[in-house]
């Protein structure tokens, strides 16, 4: 029987991947900085292997973010009060931003300074998405 990754481990791994990609860093380079193989980095990013506390601290230092970054938008487990946490329905945003297309689109979009152009791009994407099924 194949064990499925814990949703929190998957989320933390996807945030590691997103930050690494935003920095333009390869899995191999991150692995070198951590003293790991790129395969181990892959397993962390997929949530297959859990990231221990000391390793997460090390990753946060290499990627230049606070440890809390990896838990932003994390799914709330049953019986847990989410407090001020993001709604679980926004998880698809983090999933998209951890893809190479999401990173590329985000990097290009933030380079556009003109607010009117940004608005027109959002309008264009919304028009193109009409008739497409909703993200789950």
Distance CA 104, CA 69 (A): 20
Distance CA 18, CA 24 (A): 10
Q: Say how many Å lie between the first and final Cα of the chain, rounded.
A: 27
pTM above 0.75, yes or no: no
Distance CA 100, CA 95 (A): 11
Q: What's the pLDDT tens digit per position in 63-102?
A: 999 999 998 888 776 655 555 554 444 566 667 777 788 8
Q: What's the pLDDT tens digit per position in 108-118?
A: 888 888 989 98
- Is residue 60 within 8 A of residue 53, CB to CB? The reply is no
- Is residue 88 within 8 A of residue 75, CB to CB? The reply is yes
């Amino acid at each position: 029987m194949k064990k499925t990754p814990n949703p929190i481990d998957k989320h933390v791994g996807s945030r590691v991947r997103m930050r690494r990609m935003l920095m333009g860093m390869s899995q191999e380079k991150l692995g070198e900085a951590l003293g790991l193989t790129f395969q181990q980095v892959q397993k962390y990013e997929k949530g297959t292997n859990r990231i221990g506390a000391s390793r997460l601290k090390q990753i946060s230092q290499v990627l230049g973010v606070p440890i809390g970054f990896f838990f932003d938008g994390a799914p709330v487990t049953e019986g847990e009060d989410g407090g001020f946490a993001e709604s679980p329905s926004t998880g698809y945003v983090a999933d998209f931003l951890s893809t190479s297309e999401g990173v590329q689109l985000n990097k290009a979009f933030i380079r556009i300074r003109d607010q009117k152009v940004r608005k027109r791009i959002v309008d264009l994407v919304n028009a193109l998405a009409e008739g497409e099924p909703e993200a789950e």
